[in-house]
Structure 1
């Protein structure tokens, strides 16, 4: 009897042990492993769709979105789920879906036998109207639709478009020292925003949710969208309708932060970077550098006179000018003589020191001035002294007024304010490059002369005058022969918004042969000053 009791107790103990073990396993599966199993289940029953073609945003200096998007609409069919699980589907919805898709495109046929041979999901591009008709159909298994946000690339010249150029997403065509390459590499680990379509084991769509890129880093530009839009609107005004192209850059003088970078026709290449029309002879705006080099090298004195015989100006006016007087009236002959006294090497030195002969923003396709002149040729030095026979971009030209208003200190223009997280906390700030180029005394002389170009009745930019503002600058009218004659107008200058100085460049390519910068580029500059001070 005792033996039987012992065996019963042993069996009972084994039974309870198995029961406790199974209870623990059930508890473990139901509670401890719940999250892991649910994650695995959801992954097997979830379709993820990328909804943007960029994994980062481009923001202005105030955190506003700069990119423009076009919406594309897609219907997605999973052939396996669609064919397997639609026997009990709402027949009315299935017919409505089929009819709507075929009305848009006769090839979008859900009952076509070719679907049976498909192993991959089918992506059918549709229009907005079709999307709105089918997006709420939930009872057809193996089907869903979504919106894809694609960057609008129509405005090729827009800076946010340039730095996110989809053709260069894999860095295949990028200079490894370019700004685009740097941005792409800094942000390459960002995830893309996605939409998750969850279904049950029967293929029924149970939930749709957004999968946000919460840990991304975005690029924040120095551009001020409000200022940029104002200037862009000015370039479209009727007053300037006869000009096919106008470019404008406005920069905060002390920081080098570019607040405005735009042009009248944004569908062409970026003129300010010299990609199309903007890579031009600077004309008389380059006289700023010539006089700076002349003063700093002690090649001339401030009282020295230069004779102008009228040979190199359209009016044939003659006169005897000091450097200051020659600058205000923009005497070509006086500056040719001044340039030859100063010498090619001195002029080149001060141009180079201000970034005139290098890329400014390091954009992939940005142009930059490369003088191909004979340093020992009187003729070449003469042409260089009046801004002919070599080319620069508007971005390079920014340093002409800016180094002057900064008392002889060159501040390299920059376009990237920094890299920020989703909460706009800065994770990296690029270094601002500054260097002293010439003395404060030379800067003060040039500053006053540039003011007189606007204030003096003989000045070539008297149309730039705006009351209650400190404005100075230099006009430039250049001529180039490219199959036929072209004349281009420039104005570079400084002005104030409240108590802060800004430097600006306006370029108007292909003006009439009889026109000059004083009546083409200068009025655009004036409108910019007026509008940005409102």
Structure 2
């Protein structure tokens, strides 16, 4: 009896233990692992849609969006869920949905027999009006909508379009050392923006949310969107209707940060990078470099006097000029003589030291000057000295006024402010490149000359004078022959000005002006209008 009782007690204890283990197991399944089960369920009933064609933002230096988007609107249908789980759906809503879709596109028929055989989601593109109407229809299972942000790439010259296109014209990656691929290396691991659509068992939407993005790298440019927009509007002013194309760059002088890089016709290639219409002879703006090289190499003195025999002037009159007067009136013969005194190597040295004859921003298709000249040829050296027979871009030309205004310090123009995360925290900031090129006395002397180009009655840039502002510059009118017999005349102005006591350097280029026009009455008035508008 005692033995039987002991066995019963043992069986009872064992049963209690087994029961307790079962209860504990149920607890683990129903309570502890509940969140995991819910997560699995949610994952099985959640659709993910990519909502942008690009995985990073391009911002101006104030954080304003620079990318321009075209919006595309989509209706997504899950045929199996739609046909199976709408038997109890309000018929008015179903009819409204069907009518709205078919009104936009007759092929968008929810009850077409072909849809019954579909086993994948259908993506129907609609317009904004149809999209808004469908979003007002509630309670239909197996359907949702979303907006897709597609970067607008219509304008070939738009800097953002250039920087977001990582393929060359042959569909291959651009050069590894190009600015575009430098950006790509920074952003290639970014996630694309996505939207999550969570549904219940019947396919009815229960939650819509944006997928959280982490460790995102965005690109912040030096561009000031407000300034760039103002200049865009100036270039479209009716006053300048006769010019098919205009390029304009404005740069903060002491930092080299390009605040505006604008052109009149954005549907052509970028003029400022020389991709189209902007790879031209610089003309007389290059005389600034020639004078710098002459003074720095001590080939001439500021007190020198020069005889002009009138061979290369429109009037043909002989004249005697000091250095300043020759610069102010842009005397070609005088600068040919200065160039020959200075020598090819000195001129090339000081031009190259200021970024001329090399890419400035490093864009894949950016052009840069190449000298195909005989250094021992007096004729070639004479043409070099007045900015003929070689080509540069507006980006290269930026250093011409900028080194002067910076007391002889060359500051390389730059376009990347920094790389930032999704919270605008700086991840990487490029270094500013600088180099002392000119003695301060020489730069100060040339700055005074550039001011007199605008203030002197004989100055070639007198139409650009702006009262109560420290303005100066150098005009350049160049002539080129294309296709053996096509004559083209281009107008340049390389100048500087102030906004609230801060210096800015600028390049204005107007290609293909009339043969009887010159920079002083084409590019210079554009400079003046920009200075006036930016100081309002």
TM-score by length of 2: 0.95
Matched residues in 1 for 2:18 and 2:273: separation? Answer: 78
What is the CA-CA distance between 1:45 and the residue it aligns to?
A: 0.7
- The answer to whether structure 1 residue 528 and structure 2 residue 533 are counterparts is no
Matched residues in 2 for 1:30 and 1:377: separation? Answer: 93
Matched residues in 1 for 2:172 and 2:105: separation? Answer: 36
The answer as to whether partners of 1:218 and 1:422 remain within 8 angstroms in 2 is: yes
What is the CA-CA distance between 1:168 and the residue it aligns to?
A: 6.5
Matched residues in 2 for 1:291 and 1:475: separation? Answer: 15
2:250 paired residue number: 250
CA change 1:321–1:533 in 2 (3 A) is: same
Matched residues in 2 for 1:156 and 1:294: separation? Answer: 40
What is the CA-CA distance between 1:170 and the residue it aligns to?
A: 13
SS of match in other structure, 2:66: coil
User: Once the two structures are superposed, what CA deviation does each residue of 1:477-523 show, in whole Å capped at 9, x if it has no partner?
Assistant: 01111242111111011111112111111111111111110111111
2:271 paired residue number: 271
Describe how 1:212-251 pairs up with structure 2 within 5 A: 212-251=212-251
SS of match in other structure, 1:209: strand
1:303 paired residue number: 303
Matched residues in 2 for 1:225 and 1:43: separation? Answer: 42
Task: Please say which of residues 244-253 and 18-27 is displaced more in the overlay.
Answer: 18-27
1:489 paired residue number: 491
SS of match in other structure, 1:481: strand
What is the CA-CA distance between 1:197 and the residue it aligns to?
A: 0.7
The answer as to whether partners of 1:75 and 1:146 remain within 8 angstroms in 2 is: yes
CA change 1:273–1:119 in 2 (3 A) is: same
2:74 paired residue number: 74
Matched residues in 1 for 2:514 and 2:265: separation? Answer: 19
Structure 1: give runs of 5+ residues left out of the alignment. Answer: none
SS of match in other structure, 2:392: coil
Matched residues in 2 for 1:124 and 1:247: separation? Answer: 42
Task: Please say which of residues 347-356 and 99-108 is displaced more in the overlay.
Answer: 99-108
1:502 paired residue number: 504
1:478 paired residue number: 478
Matched residues in 1 for 2:174 and 2:35: separation? Answer: 44
Matched residues in 1 for 2:104 and 2:168: separation? Answer: 33
What is the CA-CA distance between 1:447 and the residue it aligns to?
A: 1.1
What is the CA-CA distance between 1:471 and the residue it aligns to?
A: 1.2
1:318 paired residue number: 318
The answer as to whether partners of 1:171 and 1:181 remain within 8 angstroms in 2 is: no
1:412 paired residue number: 412
SS of match in other structure, 2:157: coil
Matched residues in 2 for 1:479 and 1:170: separation? Answer: 34
TM-score by length of 1: 0.96
1:132 paired residue number: 132
2:17 paired residue number: 17
What is the CA-CA distance between 1:44 and the residue it aligns to?
A: 1.1
CA change 1:171–1:31 in 2 (3 A) is: farther
2:40 paired residue number: 40
1:374 paired residue number: 374
CA change 1:180–1:169 in 2 (3 A) is: farther
Describe how 1:335-484 pairs up with structure 2 within 5 A: 335-483=335-483, 484=486
Task: Please say which of residues 35-44 and 423-432 is displaced more in the overlay.
Answer: 35-44
SS of match in other structure, 1:123: strand
The answer as to whether partners of 1:247 and 1:272 remain within 8 angstroms in 2 is: yes
CA change 1:93–1:5 in 2 (3 A) is: farther
The answer as to whether partners of 1:231 and 1:262 remain within 8 angstroms in 2 is: yes
CA change 1:209–1:347 in 2 (3 A) is: same
1:31 paired residue number: 31
User: Once the two structures are superposed, what CA deviation does each residue of 1:194-237 show, in whole Å capped at 9, x if it has no partner?
Assistant: 11111112222222122243542211111111111111111111
SS of match in other structure, 1:53: coil
The answer as to whether partners of 2:166 and 2:181 remain within 8 angstroms in 1 is: no
SS of match in other structure, 1:54: coil
Matched residues in 1 for 2:436 and 2:34: separation? Answer: 66
What is the CA-CA distance between 1:433 and the residue it aligns to?
A: 0.7
What stretches of structure 1 move > 6 A for 4+ residues in a row?
Answer: 168-171
Matched residues in 2 for 1:460 and 1:528: separation? Answer: 18
What is the CA-CA distance between 1:23 and the residue it aligns to?
A: 2.5
CA change 1:98–1:335 in 2 (3 A) is: same
The answer as to whether partners of 2:166 and 2:180 remain within 8 angstroms in 1 is: no
SS of match in other structure, 1:276: coil
Matched residues in 1 for 2:246 and 2:479: separation? Answer: 17
User: Once the two structures are superposed, what CA deviation does each residue of 1:147-184 show, in whole Å capped at 9, x if it has no partner?
Assistant: 11111222322222221137579993311111111111
Matched residues in 1 for 2:29 and 2:217: separation? Answer: 38
SS of match in other structure, 2:522: helix
2:517 paired residue number: 515
What is the CA-CA distance between 1:95 and the residue it aligns to?
A: 2.7
What is the CA-CA distance between 1:361 and the residue it aligns to?
A: 0.6
What is the CA-CA distance between 1:268 and the residue it aligns to?
A: 1.8
1:108 paired residue number: 108
The answer as to whether partners of 2:287 and 2:386 remain within 8 angstroms in 1 is: yes
CA change 1:117–1:166 in 2 (3 A) is: farther
What is the CA-CA distance between 1:84 and the residue it aligns to?
A: 3.6
CA change 1:5–1:94 in 2 (3 A) is: farther
Task: Please say which of residues 397-406 and 131-140 is displaced more in the overlay.
Answer: 131-140
The answer as to whether partners of 1:169 and 1:184 remain within 8 angstroms in 2 is: no
Matched residues in 1 for 2:523 and 2:422: separation? Answer: 41
The answer as to whether partners of 2:166 and 2:173 remain within 8 angstroms in 1 is: no
Matched residues in 2 for 1:170 and 1:444: separation? Answer: 48
The answer as to whether partners of 1:76 and 1:121 remain within 8 angstroms in 2 is: yes
CA change 1:315–1:120 in 2 (3 A) is: farther
What is the CA-CA distance between 1:49 and the residue it aligns to?
A: 0.5
Matched residues in 2 for 1:59 and 1:385: separation? Answer: 41
